Amino acid sequence: MAEEKNRKVKIAEKILDKNDLMAAVNRELLSAKGIFSINLISSPGAGKTTILEYMAGYFGPRMAVIEGDIQTRRDAERVERAGCPAVQIETGGACHLDALAVKKALESIDLDAENLDLLAIENVGNLICPSGYDLGENMKIGLLSVPEGDDKVMKYPSLFSTVDVFLINKIDLAPYLDFDVDRAIEECRNMNPDVTVFTLSAKTGEGMDDFCIFLESNFH
């Protein structure tokens, strides 16, 4: 009896297996429709929605957006006003989106719409939880804004070591704040040598066209 009580049981199934399977379904669906998808991750206030507003003006109806927030449709409304369709996911407290929530949101988007090339997913503002969840995206993008400080790259390695693209936003504020752009880029590349980096300002437009052209080069 004591031997049975002390027996260890190995759990073979990963906790995230179910999410990964659903992410594969999302990826296959979007691929079949010829839609390129991105997952945009940052802390609150880093400028995700402002970036998407600029992108909405650039791409127009060629882009659709899924917005993730704890509550309210405010971000989706901003993107819609800027020129592209948007669906809001209200997580009700969850600190990240998961693949099932994205799958349900996709049901509200016309994936057969003429010229729809890009799906942008704005994750819930958080540098930790969203990094562990595959949503079915083609490209994971990590965003850091100048006011947050250049030390955040090393503090949140689970995100910045795995992103395909590293965006440094609010670069127009760099002359006024103690943010070492070269240090942030170097620390990200030390963990993630193949990362693509853009410095930009969604507010002024600096660097935004280059970023949009880069995304466009990945379509189809």
Give the residues across from 37 on adjacent strands.
119
Q: How far is the C-alpha of 135 from the C-alpha of 164, rounded, in Å?
A: 14
What are the CA-CA distances from residue 161 to residues 34, 142, 193 (Å)?
28, 10, 9
Q: To which H or E segment does residue 53 belong?
A: helix 48-59
What is the model's pLDDT at position 1? 46
> pLDDT tens-digit profile of 25-65?
999 999 999 999 999 999 999 999 999 999 999 999 999 99
Every domain of the chain and the residues it spans:
15-216
DSSP 173-205: GGGGS---HHHHHHHHHHH-TT-EEEE--TTT-
**150 and 114 Cβ atoms separated by less than 8 Å:** no
> pLDDT tens-digit profile of 68-86?
987 788 989 999 999 999 9
DSSP 22-38: HHHHHHHHHHHTT-EEE
The architecture CATH gives domain 15-216:
3-Layer(aba) Sandwich (3.40)
What is the model's pLDDT at position 91? 83
Residue 8 structure tokens: 């260890």
Q: Which pTM was predicted?
A: 0.91
Q: Enumerate residue ranges in the chain where pLDDT < 70.
A: 1-15
